[in-house]
């Protein structure tokens, strides 16, 4: 199948928990590549407009990982939430990449707009997720764009929190599973930020939850869950930095350390219900 | 990692929904290969013995497909059920196979003991699932082997129903998602039965739900769900044949055609809760 500039192409649809799990493809003006995304539309009455919950995935993932393993459909149907799952980077042979590096390039877009060559041409995941894909959702799905929420995992948790802080009027709620709260200091994101944004760390502040808060960005409340057995806890995630940033800024942070849980979809799927109920309560 | 004849090796464990999702490997005396399986152990008190629910997967699957997409852990934890997910065939370079044929060989063991060369040496999935793996579960997990249930999908639905009919004293309940109810006539199983069991169809009767019932095998009740939009409904699954067989044999069949559902894990995960509650009620 080929995506056309004119619109979106349906890759697949499948009934699930009373709704429809679909996968779609389109030509992106931001990434200049074909982009694939997943949308779950819960059962709804004719003409209804549904609140939209964005789920941003972590390093190495596509739209498919959480679609397969996230266990969100039962709850999304019960709560009447549409879920949108974008990819994590541009794709294709022409896209610059470091194939042996899972922390940079394809699968590692970090929800930013690159400014350094040769990445600036395609790596525009911030504008893709913040601007282009919402337009496509609004035009092609029964979405109430006045009611949006955002959450994500790890790199996608970073994406969710920064997207909310940069667009507080658009999102009614934001949450994250094991987010990278300060990519400017974390070991697995500093090299990527350097290559996408250059060595001047001033440019990084727009894509760093803790630094955005330091620079005055605000959001009413965050829900964050973090596995206590997560191998990336100390060097990649560092939730105490978010705690400090929120405490000093009047942001109501509900942060829970989950004993025994790791960084996998077993952790995400276990706490998916808490997060979807958090968003549903704020999207009513 | 290498499996040893002496016991089982832990490939991975991960906390999920309060329990532990594990993957294990061992050298099988039946298949003469290393075999991988998944076990979910729900939260339980010290010294508790848990009822065991066997899930048998369909064509092309390993232990991992339902582990990733089946959405059983929340319910299994709530209901206190241990789930065991075997692989669907022997694996390894030395195992005879038709690599381009997804309906035969690796990933397509059909839960039978092959008698034809060269398949008889390794393709012993009936004895593996009926005899060898239960011993391993009894020895290595907190299992109450007096309380067992079995279910599965497609080829695994065939496996579940035939396993129950051949061992009615062992299983308290049996159910299936979109089972191959009569593999001796279905288009996607006849070639496999011919190659595993030979052209004499008398040998096939021991591995065919409808023919087992015709030959006098009995089980109290079956729960079967079938997607009405399943592309294999007419030529591969044919649930009306099971209806006829059960009606003539006094087997209480609860068969529901689910409008709009296909053959995928979206169908399985949607009705997983109904099946686990069916088994839990009979395992109390």
Q: ipTM, 2 decimals?
A: 0.93
pLDDT value at position A6?
Answer: 58
Structure tokens at B222: 């079956």
**Which structural domain, as residue segments, surrounds residue A179?**
8-283
pLDDT value for B245:
98
Helix H or strand E segment including A51: strand A50-56
**pLDDT of residue A1 exceeding 60:** no
Of the residues B153, B230, B275, B279, which is catalytic? B230
In contact, A184 and A205? CB cutoff 8 Å: yes
Full strand arrangement of the beta sheet holding B34-41: B8-16, B19-27, B34-41, B82-86, B50-56, B143-153, B171-177, B221-227, B252-258
Nearest CB to A17 within list B18, B74, B270: B270
- What is the total residue count of chain B? 284
Query: Could you tell me the pTM of the whole model?
Result: 0.95
**Which residue carries 């790596």 as its tokens?**
A123
Nearest neighbour of A261 by CB, restricted to B15, B74, B260: B15
Sorted by sequence, the CB contacts under 8 Å of residue B38 that are 6+ apart come out as B21, B22, B23, B24, B63, B64, B67, B83, B84, B85
- Which H or E run contains A241? helix A239-247
Do the Cβ atoms of A229 and B15 come within 8 Å?
yes
Note the pLDDT tens digit of each residue in A250-272.
999 999 999 999 999 999 999 99
What is the CB neighbour count within 10 angstroms for residue A244? Answer: 16
Question: Is B215 an active-site residue?
Answer: no
Catalytic-role residue among B158, B263, B275, B279: B263
- In terms of CA atoms, which chain A residue is nearest residue B68? A69
Q: What strand order describes the sheet that includes A143-153? A: A8-16, A19-27, A34-41, A82-86, A50-56, A143-153, A171-177, A221-227, A252-258
B1 domain-assigned: no
User: Is A113 a catalytic site residue?
Assistant: no
- The residue of chain B with its CA nearest to that of A40 is B266
In a domain, A1, yes or no: no
Give the pLDDT of residue B4.
45
Cα–Cα–Cα angle for B13, B19, B20, nearest 5°?
10
Q: Identify the closest residue of chain B to A65 by CA–CA distance.
A: B68
Question: Chain A contacts of B71, Cβ < 8 Å?
Answer: 71, 74, 269
Whether B250 is in a domain gets the answer: yes
Longest dimension (CA), chain B: 52
State the pairing for strand pair A171-177/B82-86: unpaired
- Quote helix, strand, coil % in chain A, to nearest 5: 35, 25, 40
Q: Is A154 a catalytic residue?
A: yes
**Number of folded domains that form chain B:** 1
Decide: A227 and A195 in contact? Cβ < 8 Å: no
Q: What is the mean pLDDT of residues A195-212?
A: 98
On whether any CB of chain B is under 8 Å from the CB of A122, the answer is no
* B269 and A CB contact within 8 Å: yes
Q: Which pLDDT belongs to residue B203?
A: 97
pLDDT reported for residue B6 = 57
What number of CA atoms fall less than 13 Å from residue A43's CA on the CB side?
9
Whose CA is closest to A108, among A90, A94, A122?
Answer: A90
B283 close to B173: Cβ distance less than 8 angstroms = yes
Would you call A16 and B266 a contact, using CB atoms and an 8 Å cutoff? yes
Tell me: the pLDDT tens digits for A128-172?
999 999 999 999 999 999 999 999 999 999 999 999 999 999 999
Contact call for A68 and B68, based on CB within 8 A? yes
**Residue of chain B minimizing CA distance to A21:** B266
| Chain B closest-CA separation from residue A21 CA (Å) | 8
In a domain, B2, yes or no: no
Chain A contact for B274 (CB, 8 A cutoff): no
Q: Positive or negative, the Cα torsion across B129, B134, B140, B141? A: positive
Per-residue confidence (pLDDT) for residue A7, from 0 to 100: 87
- Distance in angstroms (rounded) separating the CA atoms of residues A43 and A196: 41
Kindly state whether B49 is in contact with chain A, defined as any CB-CB distance less than 8 angstroms: no
How far apart (Å, rounded) are the C-alpha atoms in residues B135 and A26? Answer: 52
A172 in any annotated domain = yes
> How far apart are the CA of A262 and the nearest CA of chain B, in angstroms?
7
Burial of A187 (0-12, 13-18, 19+ CB in 10 A): exposed
Specify whether the CB–CB gap between B208 and B190 falls below 8 A: no
CB contact under 8 A, B262 and A14: yes
pLDDT higher than threshold 60 for residue A2:
no
Q: What is the pLDDT of residue A205?
A: 98
For position A3, what pLDDT does the model report? Answer: 44
Mean pLDDT taken over chain A: 96
Asked if B68 has any chain A CB less than 8 Å from its own CB, the reply is yes
A81 within domain boundaries: yes
Which residues pair with residue B13 across a beta bridge?
B22
For B94, phi and psi rounded to 5 degrees?
A: -80, -10
**Separation between Cα atoms, residue A245 and residue B159, nearest integer Å:** 56
> What is the distance between the alpha carbons of residues A192 and A184, in angstroms, rounded to a whole number?
10
Are B271 and B258 within 8 A, CB to CB? Answer: yes
Residue B3 in any domain: the answer is no
Which tokens is A146 given? 């006045």
Distance from CA of B73 to the nearest CA of A (A): 9
- CATH code of the domain covering residue B65: 3.40.50.1820
Cβ neighbours, 10 Å, residue B20 = 17
Instruction: Confirm whether B25 is domain-assigned.
Output: yes
A187 in contact with B at a CB cutoff of 8 Å?
A: no
Question: Tokens standing for B278?
Answer: 């069916």
Q: Which residues of chain B have pLDDT under 70?
A: 1-6
d(C-alpha B73, C-alpha B75), whole Å: 5
Length of chain A equals 284
């Amino acid at each position: 199948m080929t995506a056309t500039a004119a619109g979106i192409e349906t890759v697949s649809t499948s009934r699930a928990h009373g709704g429809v799990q679909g996968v779609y493809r389109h030509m992106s003006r931001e990434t200049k590549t074909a982009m694939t995304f997943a949308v779950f539309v819960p059962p709804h009455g004719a003409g209804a407009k549904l609140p939209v919950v964005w789920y941003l995935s972590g390093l190495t993932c596509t739209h498919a990982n959480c679609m397969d393993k996230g266990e969100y459909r039962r709850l999304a149907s019960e709560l009447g939430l549409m879920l949108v799952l974008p990819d994590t980077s541009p794709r294709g042979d022409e896209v610059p990449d470091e194939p042996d590096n899972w922390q940079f390039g394809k699968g590692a877009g970090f929800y930013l707009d690159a400014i350094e060559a040769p990445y600036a041409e395609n790596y525009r995941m911030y504008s893709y997720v913040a601007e282009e894909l919402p337009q496509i959702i609004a035009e092609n799905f029964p979405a109430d764009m006045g009611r949006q929420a955002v959450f994500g995992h790890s790199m996608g948790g970073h994406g969710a929190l920064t997207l909310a802080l940069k667009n507080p009027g658009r999102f009614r709620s934001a949450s994250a599973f094991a987010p990278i709260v300060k990519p400017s200091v974390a070991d697995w994101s500093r090299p990527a930020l350097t290559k996408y944004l250059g060595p001047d760390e001033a440019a990084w502040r727009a894509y760093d939850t803790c630094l955005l808060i330091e620079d005055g960005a605000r959001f009413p409340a965050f829900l964050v869950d973090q596995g206590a057995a997560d191998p990336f806890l100390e060097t990649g995630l560092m939730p105490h930095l978010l705690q400090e940033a929120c405490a000093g800024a009047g942001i109501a942070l509900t942060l829970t350390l989950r004993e025994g849980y790791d960084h996998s979809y077993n952790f995400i799927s276990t706490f998916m219900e808490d997060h979807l109920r958090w968003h549903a309560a704020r999207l009513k």
